[in-house]
Chains A and B, each alone.
Chain A
Amino acid sequence: MTNKQDLRQTVFLGILCAQGIILGIVEQSFPPIFAFAPGAKIGLTNIVTMIALLTLPFNDCIILTFLRVTLSALISGTLSTFIYAFLGAFLSLFAMKLFMIFYPRFMSIIGISIVGGIIHNLGQLIIASIVAQSWYIMLYLPVLAVMGIISGFMVGAASYYFLPYLNTFSFVKNKLFTSER
């Protein structure tokens, strides 16, 4: 019985990974929406990370993020975009995991994804200032933080509306009930 659960979780992880890669490609094809803040993105792939954090154990989230970033870099990207995406994705994953202790009580999904959006932008700025060897690039941080709040709000709302459809999975159902209490 537990074997079957494990299998289902692994399949679900694979589905999420594929969705994340597709969302990343879709996002690259958008024109830059926030034209006055270079480097700011909507961060649609954060939806996948958000769902994984809420449903899967944390080890699987790390595996998922690693696979997603690596595969999407192999499909469409260069080494530099890989480094940017890697640090941003992992920093935001750990930050969101940190803020998950407030999850059912003090914060909602939207707040956690806002944290993820801001920290994602912070990671990208850190890499940018290491590459350019000039810490003055960090002066973009307030602008990118505002962008992170806006995009995090959108991502959080999207994953909030997506979550009820996951209740059909048995293992997800247990997880959601325990996290709601």
Chain B
Amino acid sequence: MKQKIKIGDILVAALLLILSFIPFYFLKNHNKTNNSQIIAVIKVNNHQIKEIPLNQDTTWTYSKNGHSNTLQVKNNKIRMLEANCKDQVCVREGWKKAAGQTIVCLPHKFLVEIKQTNPTHKNKKMNFDHTLVNP
């Protein structure tokens, strides 16, 4: 039973590591549209609680059942200012500003998604037509 790490192991591990970047690529291309307001959508337990526009500075606290999360908005950026969850991953994530980024607090099932208002079907359709005409 003499056995070492074989070359297939390294190849497969590297391949899977590269493949794991696929969703990164896909989801980044989705939000390249301009000129619409950026908002943060807060969901707790999969229910949408609140939308916060990122162009005015505020702090906002959500607390329920002893779970409390405080969000801070400043200079078109948002961060988790403090939370009383045990791992503090959400707090350490720091500032987020681009649509598509998320702050997740898994212990509290607290999700902040940054989105753009008005995905504007017109805009999308124009882009689509444009690519159809000039491929």
Contact = CB atoms under 8 A, between A and B. Distances in A.
A115 interface: yes
A102 interface: yes
B47 to A, nearest CB: 11
Contact of A110 (B5, B7, B20): B5
B17 A110 contact: no
Q: How large is the interface on B (under 10, 10 to 19, 20 to 34, 35 or more residues)?
A: 20 to 34
Which of B6, B21, B102 has the most CB atoms of chain A within a 10 A radius of its CB? B6
A26 interface: no
B120 interface: no
22 contacts: A35-B87, A102-B8, A102-B12, A106-B6, A108-B3, A108-B6, A111-B9, A111-B10, A118-B16, A134-B43, A134-B111, A136-B27, A136-B101, A137-B102, A137-B104, A139-B27, A139-B102, A142-B17, A145-B16, A145-B20, A163-B1, A176-B1
Contacts, number: 91
Interface of A: 32, 35-36, 38-39, 99, 102, 105-111, 114-115, 118, 122, 131-139, 141-142, 144-146, 149, 160, 163-164, 176, 180
Nearest to B20: A145
A38 B90 CA distance: 10
Interface of B: 1, 3-10, 12-13, 16-17, 20-21, 23-24, 27, 43, 46, 87, 89, 92, 100-102, 104, 106, 111, 113
Contacts of A146: 17
Given A38-B89, A108-B3, A108-B4, A114 B13 contact: yes
Contacts of B102: 134, 136-137, 139
A106 B8 CA distance: 5
A115 B17 CA distance: 10
Contact of A107 (B8, B16, B46, B101): B8
Nearest to A112: B9
A38 B1 contact: no
Contacts of A132: 43, 46, 111
A105 B8 CA distance: 9
Contacts of B92: 36
A99 B16 CA distance: 13
A180 B100 CA distance: 49
Contacts of B111: 132, 134
B100 A136 contact: yes
Contact of A142 (B7, B9, B24, B43): B24
Given A142-B24, A160-B3, A114 B106 contact: no
Contacts of A164: 1
Contacts of A102: 8, 12
A35 B93 CA distance: 12
A111 B13 contact: yes
